[in-house]
Chains A and B, each alone.
Chain A
Amino acid sequence: MAEQSPAYGLFKVGDSPAGYSRAPSLGAWGLRLMAISYLTILIVIPLVVIHVQGLRFGLDTFWQSISRPEAVSALTLSLTTSLMMAAINTVMGTLTAYVLVHYKFPGKALFNTLVDLPFAIPTVVIGVMLVLLYGPQTIVGKFLQQEFNIRILFDTPGIVIALLLVGYPFVIRTVQPLLLQLDSNQTDVAQTMGASSWTTFRRVIFPTIRPAVVTGALLSFARSLGEFGSIIVVAGNIPMRSQTATVYVYTQVEAGNMQAASSISIVLLLIAFIATIGIDLLNWRRHARN
């Protein structure tokens, strides 16, 4: 009966014959170490450095740097334009995702491909496209200026339009999969119970996709806050008027003022961090419920 003792094959798996709960091998530790080192080198160390730089002369200097009128104006402009973008793209993105999932129309496949384009287009190119369309010498630019006295370029509208383009895919792409998963019988059953299309959307569909809508909104907001390329082309760099936080940081770096650049960067980082935590929290809550 000696032959019936467990045969371990090629690998020695310690004292667990089934091999299910064996002690991690050297290889597995090596992989973990590599992943952690990579994260540390790429993200943690630069984060630490920027905080050290920004806070090097103490909190007072940090506070002075971020409370300068140009800095406040730049941060406010970034926040307001990003919020406007997030609000508009949340509504339009949800609507677009709904249309893409529920309706057939000619050119739908092309439409679906175009949605992702802003992910791929260099943002500077987005800026150039907008300048060519809305510039003061163009037909559209002239028309808006003369008829409505609206200036798109070098002003808030230009920034918002650029951000709308940059942030376009986010809500659509987060909401679409959840809409596809949505059991169409739920909407059917709501209708047999007398719910109108709008009520069905409000009370059945939206609550199901809400986490994805918020995630998309937060992602696009965080992305917009950091947008640089298209804004510098569309809005230029007019302090107190069209200078966003990222452009302000760039100006400070150019001027060799690393402390001021770091201080504003820390504020931007903090906002991005809060948005990320918000997304994680939402995902965690959704998993907890199901």
Chain B
Amino acid sequence: MSIEVLHVNKSFDTTPIVRDVSVKIETGELFVLLGASGSGKSTLLRLIAGLIELDSGTILLNDRDVTHLSPQQRGTGFVFQNYSLFRHMTVAQNIEFGLSIRKVKRLEREQRVNELLELIELQGYGNRYPAQLSGGQQQRVALARALAYQPNVLLLDEPFGALDVKIRVQLRQNLRAIQQRLGLTAILVTHDQEEAFDIADRIGIIDQGELLEVGAPDQLYRNPTHRFTATFLGTANLLDARRNGTNVYWGDVKIPAPANTEQFSGKPVEVLARPEEVALSCTRERAPGSIIGQGIVDSIAFAGPVLRVTVCLLSHDRKNLQVLLAPSDVRDQNIEVGQEVWVSLKEYHLLATNAE
């Protein structure tokens, strides 16, 4: 049950909302569309469900062209952020709605409802009304309702957005487990990168209607191609540089170019180092990786298992870098606010500067 989107465009009035998006989601894959609010991610999901008509492009569900089919004919399961349960129906009636539309016999319907109640761990809740359930329970019912008629694909629009952090984490792991157990093909839309990292097989980064890049969570985090991806996913330290021969250099700093970056030769690049890839050392000799210069510790903040340190480079226009250090490192290197330290990169990646 694959999903294939080909060169899809959609504008509201004259404002383009989705621009030339193409992506293929494989059978059994949980694909997360990650973007800020207003990026067009929900619109793309609605286009796939057929709730909005596209301006141009093609949508294939399981290799069947559904571009001009109504939502009723597409057979998708949809889950909304605000649950959207039918409030005048019981939990059981909600779940069997799709089955009764398909004229499934009553006995079979009851059996399926029981299966699903068990799947979402709400056995015995069939006769309750949505208003009697908590937010998390309602969202589980919404999921069961979308799964009842065994849809081709599952589409989830910020399904955990309205829930408490603790329930959110628990529910998304439940969803992941159910999705894998049933081998569902699913697209989940979210603005929460932690959620995306937690459950996605692949993530698609969407910005201003454009699908910028698609990849596995760690790949997008470590080695993004777009500056937007680098800054949107976690914290990014970016340094302007040039790549030449086998080195990357700026000012009087020269560090070896990472492998497989020949395509950037002779071009302006940005060096990306994540906060955990930067090291601070009290002496030059003790600095691991590639030294990029000296800096002054600007602040140290407690962040649970690690410390968040801001260091101000003495060169490079006194640029600030964000660094995550283990408490033991801070102790061993005598790192204090106002102290001069050696800054080095344990790992780093290159971004083409023009790849905005």
Residue contacts A-B, CB under 8 angstroms, 26 given: A183-B82, A186-B86, A188-B46, A188-B51, A188-B80, A189-B78, A189-B145, A189-B146, A190-B86, A190-B97, A192-B50, A192-B71, A192-B76, A192-B77, A192-B146, A192-B155, A193-B97, A193-B98, A193-B101, A193-B145, A193-B146, A193-B149, A194-B72, A195-B72, A290-B87, A290-B131
**B232 CB–A CB distance under 8 Å:** no
The reply to whether the CB of B331 lies closer than 8 angstroms to some CB of chain A is no
Residue A5 at the B interface, CB < 8 A?
no
Interface flag for B74 (CB, 8 Å): yes
Q: Given that A185-B82, A204-B86 are known contacts, is A192 also in contact with B49, CB under 8 Å in the complex?
A: yes
Complex Cα spacing A191 to B78, Å: 10
- Give the B-binding residues of A (Cβ under 8 A): 183, 185-186, 188-196, 199, 203-204, 207-208, 289-290
Instruction: Please judge, given known A-B contacts A192-B49, A199-B101, A290-B131, whether A207 and B88 are in contact too, CB under 8 Å.
Output: yes
Q: Number of residues in B with C-beta < 8 Å to the partner? A: 30
Let me know if B264 is at the binding interface, CB within 8 A.
Answer: no
Q: How far is the CA of A288 from the CA of B298 in the complex (A)?
A: 59
Q: A189 contacts B80, CB within 8 Å? A: yes
For residue B84, CB closer than 8 A to chain A, the reply is: yes
Asked if residues A183 and B131 are in contact (CB atoms below 8 Å), the reply is no
Task: Return B104 CB to nearest CB of chain A, in Å.
Answer: 11
Point out the residues of chain A lying under 8 angstroms from B102, CB to CB.
Answer: 194
Residues of A within 8 A of B131 (CB): 289-290
- Say which residue of B77, B84, B149 sits within 8 Å of A185 (CB atoms): B84
Closest 3 CB pairs of A and B: A193-B98, A185-B84, A207-B88
User: Chain A residue with minimal CB distance to B73?
Assistant: A194
B149 to chain A: closest residue by CB = A193
Identify the closest chain A residue to B84 (Cβ).
A185
Flag if B98 contacts A289 (CB, 8 Å): no
Q: Which residue from chain A places its CB closest to the CB of B132 in the assembled complex?
A: A289
Contacts of B74 in A (CB 8 A): 192
Cβ-based interface call for B129 (8 A)? yes
Are the C-beta atoms of B84 and A183 separated by less than 8 Å? yes
> Would you give the shortest CB distance from A76 to chain B, in whole angstroms?
36
Contacts of B46 in A (CB 8 A): 188
Chain B residues near A208 (CB, 8 Å)? 87-88
Q: A258 to B146, alpha carbons, bound, how many Å?
A: 66
Distance in angstroms between the alpha carbons of A195 and B149 in the assembled complex: 12
**Closest chain B CB from A282 CB (angstroms):** 14
Within B202-224, which residues are at the interface with A (CB < 8 Å)? none
Give per-residue flags for B58-77: 1 if the beta carbon is below 8 A from chain A beta carbons, else 0. 00000000000011101111
A189 CA to B146 CA, complexed, in Å: 9
- Near A by CB (< 8 A), chain B positions 67-121 give 70-72, 74-78, 80, 82, 84, 86-89, 97-98, 101-102
Instruction: Tell whether, in the assembled complex, residue B101 and residue A189 are in contact, meaning their CB atoms are under 8 Å apart.
Output: no
State in angstroms the CA–CA spacing of A102 and B348 once bound together: 54
Which residue on B lies nearest to A186, using beta carbons? B84
A178 to chain B, nearest CB (A): 12
Q: Which residues of B contact A192 (CB under 8 A)?
A: 49-51, 71-72, 74, 76-78, 146, 151, 155
Task: Looking at the assembled complex, report how far the CB atom of B97 sits from the nearest CB atom of chain A, in whole angstroms.
Answer: 6
* 19-51 of chain B: CB within 8 A of chain A: 46, 49-51
- Report B-chain residues with C-beta under 8 Å of the C-beta of A203: 86, 97
**A289: contacting residue among B71, B77, B129, CB under 8 A:** B129
The answer for the CA separation of A204 and B93 in the assembled complex, in Å, is: 12
Q: Please determine whether A191 and B82 come into contact, CB atoms closer than 8 angstroms.
A: no
Q: What is the bound-complex CA distance between A192 and B102, given in angstroms?
A: 12
Bound CA–CA A152/B185 (angstroms)? 64
What residue in chain B is nearest A290 (Cβ atoms)? B131
Additional 16 contacts, C-beta under 8 A, given A190-B86, A196-B72, A289-B129? A185-B82, A186-B86, A189-B78, A189-B80, A189-B84, A192-B51, A192-B71, A192-B72, A192-B74, A192-B76, A193-B97, A193-B101, A193-B145, A193-B149, A194-B72, A194-B75
